[in-house]
Structure 1
Amino acid sequence: MRITVFGASGAIGHLVVRQLLDAGHHVTASVRTPAKLTLADGKPTVATGQLSDTAAVRKAVAGAHAVISALGPSLKRSVKGTAVTDGTRTVVEAMQAENVTRFIGLATPSLTDPRDKPHWKPKVLPVMAKLAFPNALTELQGMTEAVTSSPLDYTIARITNPVDKPATGRIRSGFLGHDKVGSAMTRTDIAAFLVSQLTDNRYHQAMPVISN
């Protein structure tokens, strides 16, 4: 398959690109700074440009079977504005213009899915996030709404505590109040879940919570 990855040089995006290449997919890696995309093996097509560059984003998406977004907001309190939200809207618009329908991305349990039952996470996490990372929470809400309000066939994986540890191969997924899903998850396993959604039909137009 031909897959376009946004946020390809980030901690999770880099792993997504690596796993896609290992699986034999053709990858277009969208990055602002190509030097940050360091892969020992494999040769993704590198699309350089800002998310605000509509033409560059559309070019990166053209011909793709699906888009995987590893974009996420900065947790620095000094960062203001809605660059990631605006960039996600640009990606959504480019996908629609290029007739690419499958979107796979990331969020947190601070945001809810209609299939969730009452749970402490959507009550506690937004309060904590608003106090510690107010702009990041606004960005997460905006970028998620940009996707879920569109006609795209999306899967948005909600993660709580990504960690840099070896992959476990144990992935739990489901909805709050329904399924036994924890918090911590290795970034390698997060990437594996995102890649798996290219062929897994369980979570179309849904926002499952995932963990190890």
Structure 2
Amino acid sequence: MRVTVFGATGAIGRHVVQQLLDAGHQVTALARNPDKFTLNHPGLTLITGQLSDRTALTKAVTGADAVISALGPSLKRSATGTQLADGARTLVTVMDEQKVTRFIGLATPSLADPRDKPHWKHKVLPVMAKLMFPNALRELEGMTAAVTSSDLDYTIARISNPTNKPATGSIKSGFLGHDKVGSAMTRADIAAFLVSQLTDTRYQRAMPAISN
């Protein structure tokens, strides 16, 4: 497949790109600073730009079979603005124009899926996020709303405690109150789940929670 990756220079995005290339996919990565990307591979195309650059977005998305976003907001309390949310709205428009329908991305259990049942995370996590990371929560809400209100065929994986431990190969997924899903998950396993959604149809237009 031809897959466009956003957030490719981040801690999860790097795993996504490597796993896609290892699986034989053609990867296009949009990077604000390509110099941060040391990977050199014949199947990788780097495009310089950011989410506010509609021309770069169009170039990155054109011809893709799917888009994987490993983007996440800054967790600094001093962070301001809604660059990611604004960029997500532009990306949805560009994908629609280019007839690219498959979107795979990330969010948090602070945001509910209609398939969830009442769960303590629905009560605790939003309160914690508003107190500790208010701008990050606004960004995630905006990014998620842009995608879920569109006609895209999306899967948004909700994560809560990513770690840098080695991949375990053990991935739990489902909906809060229905399935036994924990919190901690290695970034390599998060990437593996995102890549697996290229061919897995269980979570189309859904936001499963995932963990190890």
Amino acid at match of 2:24: G
Report what 2:145 is aligned to: 145
Amino acid at match of 1:54: R
Amino acid at match of 2:26: H
Q: Deviations 1:44-66 (Å, cap 9, x if unpaired)?
A: 10011021011110110000000
C-alpha distance in 1 between matches for 2:184 and 2:111: 17
Matched ranges for 1:47-196 at <5 A: 47-196=47-196
Matched ranges for 1:192-203 at <5 A: 192-203=192-203
2:3 aligns to what SS in structure 1?
strand
C-alpha distance in 2 between matches for 1:181 and 1:64: 32
Runs of 4+ that moved beyond 6 A: none
Amino acid at match of 2:62: A
Asked if the contact 2:25–2:43 (Cα under 8 Å) also holds between the matched residues in 1, the reply is no
Using the aligned pairs only, state the percent identity: 75
Q: Deviations 1:65-89 (Å, cap 9, x if unpaired)?
A: 0000011100011110100001111
Report what 1:35 is aligned to: 35
1:210 aligns to what SS in structure 2?
strand
Relative to the length of structure 2, the TM-score reads 0.98
How large is the Cα RMSD of the aligned pairs?
A: 0.9
Asked if the contact 2:29–2:45 (Cα under 8 Å) also holds between the matched residues in 1, the reply is yes
Query: How many matched pairs?
Result: 212
Q: Which shifted more, 175-184 or 84-93?
A: 84-93
Q: How big is the shift at 1:38?
A: 2.1
Asked if the contact 1:117–1:176 (Cα under 8 Å) also holds between the matched residues in 2, the reply is yes
C-alpha distance in 1 between matches for 2:17 and 2:74: 21
Can you give the 5+ residue segments of structure 1 that lack an aligned partner in the other structure? none
1:9 aligns to what SS in structure 2?
coil
Amino acid at match of 1:169: G
Q: How big is the shift at 1:43?
A: 4.6
CA 1:180/1:42 → structure 2, altered by over 3 Å: closer, same or farther? farther
Report what 2:22 is aligned to: 22
Asked if the contact 1:21–1:42 (Cα under 8 Å) also holds between the matched residues in 2, the reply is no
C-alpha distance in 2 between matches for 1:77 and 1:129: 11
C-alpha distance in 1 between matches for 2:194 and 2:211: 12
Relative to the length of structure 1, the TM-score reads 0.98
2:129 aligns to what SS in structure 1?
helix
Amino acid at match of 1:141: E
Report what 1:13 is aligned to: 13
Q: Deviations 1:148-183 (Å, cap 9, x if unpaired)?
A: 000000000000100000000000000000000000
Q: How big is the shift at 1:41?
A: 5.1
